[in-house]
Structure 1
Amino acid sequence: MNVKVACVGGGPAGLYLSILLKLRDPSHDITVHERNPEGSTYGWGVTYWRGLLDRLHAHDPASARAVEEHSVRWRDGVAHVGGHTVRHHGDEGFGIGRHRLLEILAARARALGVRLEHEHEVRADRLPDADLVVAADGVGSALRTRYAGHFGTEVRAGRNHYIWLGTTKVFDAFTFAFAETDHGWIWAYGYGYGPGGSTCVVECAPETWSGLGLDRADEAEGLVVLEKLFADVLDGHPLTGRSGRGAGASWLTFRTLTNRTWSRGNLVLLGDAAHTTHYSIGAGTTLALEDAMSLAAALGEPVALRDALARYEQERRAALLPVQSAARHSAQWYENLPRYIRLPPQEMFALLGQRHSPLLPYVPPRLYHRIDRAAGRLETLRRLKRRLGPRIARTVEARNLAARG
């Protein structure tokens, strides 16, 4: 059956949903409305992990191959704390430029027959004439805001201040850098997204932010301060900000957004319009794309629209619960950084990797580290036993048979 769909917002979620719906039924009439000019987007790179790439290949191999081809990858995590550097080998991670990701998805959507209308802002009081309107217009969604009472929107602001920056320094690993100042600690997360540069997110407590004068500095002045603080990891490369957006630096506090319900009639929320998770777990783009996968699958079922939207919401809420918990604890770990930063660097970095644990805030850090190491050794022995057990049993049986013979 031909269905008319209007996606409001041309980010990864809206574009990927349009792709999946066209793949399911080319007769669908789908338009993506984006208020900004084509090619303009804020941000440098986004991260994702192997699990998402596998799901992208399962849903649309063509766009997945293009995403993988234009991504960089890493396996190591590196932490710089004072004069110490610690490196851990971990799971494979990926980075891709946000501009490039949007180019790939937009080209794929167009090739499938999706209409993309840029510089076209949809008014919240005048929704497009469509069977389904998808609010994929981000955390500040105008469509959701107009009906905030119905959706039950709640926003909780985090404590720390952060700023999203770029750099021409290409990090070869997911890099953490912690710098101590007279006003407290300030830290950066850096990851490459292509041969031309990396994303660099800087975060600190409110007292550090004001003590360093970052609350009063314009963007250029603030970048000079940060380049000096992180000179060792930047290797002389500059930091870049949101040029052309006024004199004020774009420091924010993270807003965790939730909604009591995700749909209203034929209007449904997607991606950051429906939910946000703290940037320190690097899951925002992944969750948005998974939302699109779930909504496309639900709309493909032979049920009424109301039932399809209810199924989508139920499925995604269940999937989000552990991620939201991990994000909450990750944010709290950084908000309580003094509790961990004086540990030996290897232990601090190990607990940085355990920051999603709900137990960590309630157990003395060094004790938690010892318990975690002991549990890791025990699990290693269990895996070894499972692997070698059948082999040892066969060897013993052979010896017994030989002895009886």
Structure 2
Amino acid sequence: MKITCVGGGPAGLYTAVLLRLADPAHEVTVVERNPAGVTHGWGVVFWQELLEALRAGDPTTAEQIADAAFAWSGQDVDVEGSGRVSRPSGGYGIGRRHLLDILAERARGLGVRLAFEHEVGPGARPDADLVVAADGAGSAFRRAGDFGASVEVGANQYVWLGTTRVVDPFLFAFVRSPAGWLWCHAYGYDEGHSTFIVECPPATWRGLGLDRLDAAASLALLERLFARHLDGHPLISPGGDPDAPLPWLAFRTVHCARWSDGDVVLVGDAAHTTHFAIGSGTTLALEDAIALVRALGEEPDTAAALARYERERRAALAPRRRDAAHSARWLEDVERYIDLDLPVFEAVLHRRRSAIVPRVPPRLYVRARAVAERHGIARVLWDQAAVARRLLAGRDGA
């Protein structure tokens, strides 16, 4: 087949790698509108399960990613005025540019044609039997095609920043400002850098003037607010116009009724997005690539392969998309929990993926869950809202 992957991010590049490994007769091109080496974002996170999936798909790529990964251990929650608690955890970070370099070199070595600074779109379709639209959350192919797409916009504002402070373990730090609370999701991704995502409610964002301040003034303000966690290190912006505000965003959750339209198929953020609070975006994109290429190799025709790909990935995505939605809503309602005793706050933050957390007084939730775990009640039962409501009916503790 002649296949063009539109977008030189993880989904497009890894799809191209797997296509050439599956059948060297495939003529595969990756088209990327940006120059080589240019990317957005800092480091991304992933877990051991992804490494195992990558080893099954392409051991060479997997080992290169494993060798380049920064392993972090533990998770700290720090609330200004309350202290800090730690929880065992573990995962990996890797610089997004480093990840893309690994994938691009592997693709090139397998005979994939890489075309940087090359714009294609629905109005200038590539000459291909199949177009893999890996062009991100703002996908032009999705907008132009018949995918039944909709976008749900979150309430909170957030911005992706970097820092030279190596953050290990993973850190949730909540700080109080004159305009309200704001917090970071921070983690190391190499020996000299960390990703530092700042998130806050819109009232805090506007109250601090972050919607109006230029980038330099915004960074200076955020460095003062998070000074205790930065330990003298600077925050680094993604670049752009220094006189413009930082590139704050409200998270956009993409939903598609269909992931393929004729000879175009969506992968990664073009097909679906999951809130960064569960750190799965890159993992899901790479898993999409694995499932798509496997289906193309095992089904009798392209239409059947695309149907199978969508069916399998929707089923695999469903629980993680629910987790992400619950996590995002919890963070939008963080002021309900922020004045709790720190151990209780940390416990409900850790369980923010549960559908029942917002429906139960937080202290009661923590006590009831502790009782459930002591008595061996299965997690799958505990996390059913109907069961929880029966257990907690009539109780109004806080």
TM-score exceeds 0.5: yes
**Cα drift, residue 85 of structure 1:** 3.6
Q: Distance in 2 between matches of 1:255 and 1:156?
A: 6
TM-score, with length taken from structure 1: 0.91
Distance 1:381 1:47 in 2: 29
Q: SS where residue 242 of structure 1 aligns?
A: coil
Q: Is the 8 A contact 2:73 2:168 kept in 1?
A: no
Q: Identity percentage over the alignment?
A: 54
Q: Distance in 1 between matches of 2:350 and 2:361?
A: 16
Q: CA RMSD in A?
A: 1.5
Counterpart CA distance in 2 for 1:127 and 1:355 is 43
Asked if residue 213 in structure 1 is aligned to residue 212 in structure 2, the reply is no
**Rounded Cα–Cα distance in structure 2 between residues aligned with 1:58 and 1:379:** 35
- Aligned residue number for residue 251 of structure 2: 254
Of 13, 17, 22, which aligns to 1:15? 13
Show the counterpart of 1:311: 308
* Aligned counterparts of 1:245 and 1:311: Cα–Cα separation in 2: 44
> What SS does the aligned partner of 1:236 have?
coil
In structure 1, the partner of 2:88 is 90
CA deviation profile, 1:329-362 (whole Å, cap 9, x unmatched)? 0001111111111111111111111000001110
Q: How many positions carry a matched residue from both structures?
A: 378
Please list, as runs of the form range in 1=range in 2, the aligned pairs for 1:148-227 lying within 5 A after superposition: 150-227=146-223
Determine which of 62, 69, 72 is the counterpart of 1:71: 69
Which of 355, 360, 364 is 1:358 aligned to? 355
Structure 1 position 64, deviation (Å): 0.5
Contact 1:76 1:87 in 2 (8 A): no
CA-to-partner distance for each residue in 1:237-286, whole Å, 9 max, x for gaps?
00011223452210110001111101111110010000001111101000
Question: What is the deviation of 1:381?
Answer: 12
1:392 counterpart residue number: none
SS in 1 for 2:120: coil
Structure 1 gap segments, 5+ residues each: 383-405
* CA shift for structure 1 position 375: 2.5
1:298 aligns with 2:302: no
Distance in 1 separating the partners of 2:15 and 2:352: 32
1:101-150 CA deviation, whole Å, 9 max, x = no partner? 00111111111111111001113212111111010000111111112xx1
SS of the equivalent of 1:300 reads helix
Map of 1:390 onto structure 2? none
* 1:36-61: CA deviation from partner (whole Å, max 9, x where unpaired): 00000011100011111111111111
Inter-partner Cα distance in structure 2 for 1:304 and 1:233:
54
Q: Secondary structure at the match of 1:202?
A: strand
Residue pair 2:82, 2:341 contacting (<8 A) in 1 also: no
How far off is 1:88 after superposition? 2.8
Deviation at 1:380, TM superposition (A): 10
- SS class of match (1:352): helix
* 1:26 Cα deviation from its structure 2 partner: 1.1
Q: 1:250 to 1:293 in 2, by over 3 A?
A: same
1:49 match = 47
Question: Residue in 1 aligned with 2:366?
Answer: 369
- Assess if the C-alpha contact under 8 Å between 1:281 and 1:327 holds in 2: yes
Cα contact 1:86–1:346 (8 A) shared by 2: no
Q: Is the 8 A contact 1:138 1:271 kept in 2?
A: yes
1:82 Cα offset (Å): 1.0
CA distance in 2 between counterparts of 1:95 and 1:256 reads 23
Return the alpha-carbon distance in structure 2 between the equivalents of residues 122 and 297 of structure 1.
Answer: 26
Aligned to 1:249, the other structure's residue is in SS state: coil
Letter in 1 for 2:257: R
For residue 151 of structure 1, give the secondary structure of its aligned residue in structure 2.
Answer: coil
- Residue 27 of structure 1, CA deviation: 1.3
Match of 1:102 among 100, 109, 134: 100
How far is the alpha carbon of 1:83 from its aligned partner?
Answer: 3.6
Determine whether 1:239 maps to 2:260. no
CA gap 1:200/1:55 in 2 versus in 1, 3 angstroms: same
Q: CA contact under 8 A between 1:86 and 1:349: conserved in structure 2?
A: no
Q: Distance in 1 between matches of 2:53 and 2:88?
A: 21
Say which of 263, 269, 272 aligns to 1:272. Answer: 269
Tell me if structure 1 keeps the 8 A contact 2:75–2:89. no
Whole-angstrom CA distance in 2 between matches of 1:63 and 1:20 = 10
Cα separation, 1, equivalents of 2:109 and 2:376: 49
Alignment match of 2:115 (pick from 114, 117, 131): 117
CA distance in 1, matches of 2:241, 2:61: 32
Residues of 2 paired with 1:87 and 1:108: CA distance?
Answer: 41
Q: Whole-Å Cα distance in 2 between the matches of residues 76 and 92 of structure 1?
A: 6
Match of 2:327 in 1: 330
CA contact (8 A) 1:110 1:116 kept: yes
Q: With structure 2 as the length reference, what TM-score do the two structures score?
A: 0.93
Greater C-alpha radius of gyration: 1
In structure 2, give the amino acid aligned to 1:87: V
Could you tell me which residue of structure 1 aligns to residue 282 of structure 2?
285
What per-residue deviation string (whole Å, max 9, x for no partner) do you get for residues 160-188 of structure 1? 11111000000111101101122211111
The 1:232/1:316 distance shift into structure 2, 3 A limit, reads: same
